[in-house]
Structure 1
Amino acid sequence: MVPIVDATPAQSSGSSSPVVYQGVDESDTYIYTVRPGDTLGTISQQYLGASSRYTELLKLNKLAPNDSIFVGQKLKLPTKGLTIPKESSYSKHSKSRQTVSTTASKESYPELEALIEAEEYNQAIQWTLNHEKLETSQSLQQKLVVAAKGQSEQYKRQQNTAEAEALLSGLISETPLSSANKAMLEAELSTLRAEQQLLTAKQYADRSQFDDSYELLLNAWNNVGKPLEENILFTTTRNKVSENYHQQALRLYRNQKLDDALEFWQKILAINPNDDLALVYQDRVKALQNKLDNL
């Protein structure tokens, strides 16, 4: 199996010995505690501004490229270029799973709020669309977004995605919404369409049609982006395709077919820019190619 370097609840396997790096300055560091879902690439991206700086974490923490990191592990981060987010990625992910809330407002619509609370989303949508203040009231527009997303989820549970798509498309094209609220509905519609592609992508991957699955994953990633990291169907299918591509790339690498191997790792990075193993071998291939060019 190809070890994908990410944070797991288990303790480090210790399957590979730490690499001793010379000349690493440990006098000025920031201590980071590994959280679920972290990889060296995501930590580097979030705190150091670029996934490619994962190599600094390898050196500073005396890790081999194939070592795993684990939840609760303390990692040293260089302070050069360090940016500490106001909110951790973990808390951001938690918030992203919550229902979209309305901004603070003095406006109150008890009847509408009761419909939303009772999950009578279609009635809530019609109530809002008939209100004379919809065009000027941000509070009403935000409640409409909440109701539309709730109804879309109900349609999806009923396996009636065509109705969900028609609802969202109609509201986007025909309702007087602010650009921010319209963008939220457009993002929901993009996610809905991507989810349909993901079902097909999973079927392809289950039949080992990895190239067909990859094309759908890439299209979904290009259209939706990072929110897909919260979609278990996307991440599990991506992991299956990436694992196969890693295996193919490693065989090519060992046979010194560097260009062909690099192509697979670059494909992996196109759907997962923080895949640590792909980043490691991409750098190795480029370094070897430079040496060969200079012979």
Structure 2
Amino acid sequence: MMTFNKHWAIVPTLFVAATLIAVGGCAGVGVETGAGAAPTVEPTAAMAEQSAPAGAESSGAAVRELGPIIDMLENGQYQAAQRALQAYLQHDPRSAVAKGLLRQLETDPVQLLGAAHQPYEVRPGDTLGGIAARYLGDPLRFVALARYNGIARPKALVAGQVLKLPVSGKAGVAEPQAAIPLQEVTLQAIEEDLAAGRIAVAQAGIARLRAAGGAPTARLEALSLRARALERQARGLALLEAGRVEEALEALEQALRDAPGLEPATRRRAELRQRLVRDYHEAAVVHFRNQRLDQAIELWDKALALDPGFEPARGYRTRALELRRRLDALE
């Protein structure tokens, strides 16, 4: 869900991990309109649970994706989100997004944002994500901003509500900062997904970002190429596990054409080539001894295509060709 604000040109939306969820939805969803201001109360566990959407919980599936965790944060499920983020980082300890969100939950918000603040009146169309993007430089800092203001449910802003807005600069004034562009945040999420092996999630993010337009073409194509290489590598390793060695080698070759130097594709390709060269040669020798010269020569051709310097195959092939020439002459 995207929220547009005439005072804020950038949509504070984030496609993250598996669902490429829109953070502009509360962080995020548009402000509720109303004359009164919502009370500022430090959220409790009970309040968080009451504000949670039906069925929301830190399940095993949610741990593997950031989207459901951000849903928890948007709905004020701070404790559940904290547990989910800790579990998520067990699977992907390099995730900068997850580490940043967890830090906002585990650190005193005053320590994060500073004690000095000024009042800010929420306007129709405002979201915590938009305000965080405009004044803190990052829409995902809506978590710290919510805790700074004791907001139990970040989605539940009300027009007219007065927030404490951290100030910056010598003049002690909250100044708009350069927000992280939507495309950059999304590209970083895709890179994290690829690094963590979430290939399908990354490919979905690439497709959505390409459809939305505006992302740097060269960088998007590089990510797409890497995603395809990782997919082919995974297929090659699965084929190898199934004993389909020739198909496995072809898949790894394709992966390395997309991403030269990719590991473990590079190492496994070298191992497979050596293995197939030996297998082809040994099978060819059996055919040769049984006078099945055409089959033997075909196998030695395969061996030499993989390793032109494999002398046993080269020598036997020469003998097989000479024998076939003599047999043809007798006919």
TM bin (shorter chain): 0.3 to 0.5
Report which of the two structures shows the higher radius of gyration computed on alpha carbons.
Answer: 2
TM-score (norm 2): 0.35
TM-score (norm 1): 0.39
